[in-house]
Amino acid sequence: GAVPKGNATKEMIQQLGFREGQVIFKCQRCCSIKPDRAHHCSVCQ
């Protein structure tokens, strides 16, 4: 599946069930949450 662009909003992060204080990486270009150890998101690559 694909991750939608712009999903790194506060509401989406809460909806995805991330814990408070948990480190979340996001792409600075498209504002998408990127997987751990990813150099860049698959949307912008």
Task: Say if pTM beats, i.e. exceeds, 0.85.
Answer: no
Asked if 1 and 19 count as a contact pair (C-beta separation under 8 A), the reply is no
| Cα 20 from Cα 41, distance rounded (Å) | 23
Closest listed residue to residue 40, CA positions, set 25, 21, 20, 23: 25
Q: What is the pLDDT of residue 43?
A: 61
Range of the domain at 3: 1-45
Predicted local confidence at residue 9, as pLDDT: 82
Write out pLDDT tens, residues 1-45.
566 677 778 888 788 787 788 888 887 777 788 777 766 666 666
Q: How far apart are the first and last CA of the chain?
A: 16
